[in-house]
Chains A and B, each alone.
Chain A
C-alpha cells in the first residue's frame, strides 16, 4: 500500500513538472518572433505532451504524438518556412487588448466549467463507467487482441478509422491541388 502512495506522488510530481514545461513553452511561443524558433519550440511542446501522455497511461497516444505531432508537423512547418522564405514575424502594430479580453473571458468560463468535472484520476467518474468495463472485460475474448486501444480502434470503432483515412485522403488531395501544380507552372515559365 505504501508503495502505491509513493508511485502516485511521483506520478503527480512528473505530471506537474511536464505541465510547467508546457506552459513555459507556450508562453515562449507567444513572445518569440523568429519563426524558426517558434517551430522548434512547437516541436518541443509536442514532445513534452507526448511525455505527459505516457504519465497519464496513454502509451499509444504518446507514440503517435511523438511521431506524427512532434515529427511530421514540425517537418511540414519547416518545409513551409523554406518555401515562403519569411523568417521574422512583423512586430504587431499595437498591444492587443481585445484578444486578451476574449481569451480571459473564455478561459474563465472554461475554468468555471471544470468545477463540475470529477477529480483528476477518479475511478468512479462517469467517463469510466459506460462502455469502459465492457472493453476491459470482453475485448480479449471478442477480438483476441491484448491491447484494448488497438481492439477498439480496429474492431469496435473500425468505421471511425475508415473515416479518418477519408480525412487524410481529402487533405492530401487538397494539398496537391493547392501546391502540386506549383512545380509544373514554374517549369512552364522556364520553358517559355
Chain B
C-alpha cells in the first residue's frame, strides 16, 4: 500500500491538476478563463509525460563523465514540441476570443448564445 502511494502520488496529483483544468473548461462561461483552464490541462499532460520519463537517482540526459543513469530523453523531446504547439493553439484561441468580442461585444458564453438565439 505504502509502495503504491509513494510510487504513484505524482501521477495522482497530475491527474488532479488535469481535472481542475478540465472543470474550468466545461463549467465556466468566460472564454479567457476557459483558455486558462485549457492551458492548465495541457501543462499537466506535460507533467505526466515527464513523470513517466523520470528515473530515480538519474540525471539530465546530457552525456558527461561519471554519470551512467539518465532520464529518458524521448518524452522530453515530445514535450518540447508539445509546449510550442500548445502556445500556437492558445494564440489561435485568443485571436478567436478577440474576434468574438468584436462581433458580439461580449466574451461570456451564455450572452453570445442569447444573441444567437434572438436572431
Contact = CB atoms under 8 A, between A and B. Distances in A.
B91 A35 contact: no
Contacts of B51: 56, 120
Range for the number of chain B residues in contact with chain A: 35 or more
Nearest to A121: B56
Interface in B4-39: 4, 6-24, 26-30, 32-33, 35-37, 39
Nearest to B106: A86
A167 B82 CA distance: 11
Contacts of A178: 92, 95-96, 98-99
Nearest to A46: B43
Given A120-B10, A128-B72, A171-B91, A57 B15 contact: no
A65 B32 contact: no
A62 to B, nearest CB: 9
Contacts of B33: 35, 38, 89
B13 to A, nearest CB: 4
A168 B88 CA distance: 6
Given A153-B80, A161-B81, A164-B84, A38 B73 contact: no
A14 interface: no
A68 B106 CA distance: 28
Given A76-B91, A127-B53, A92 B27 contact: yes
Nearest to B96: A178
Interface string A66-98: 001100110011011101101001101100100
Given A49-B43, A58-B79, A68 B20 contact: no
10 contacts: A4-B57, A29-B24, A35-B32, A64-B83, A90-B29, A114-B12, A135-B74, A148-B70, A160-B77, A178-B99
Given A120-B11, A122-B55, 15 more contacts: A42-B39, A56-B54, A57-B59, A57-B60, A61-B46, A77-B35, A83-B101, A99-B23, A99-B27, A100-B27, A107-B16, A121-B57, A148-B70, A160-B77, A168-B85
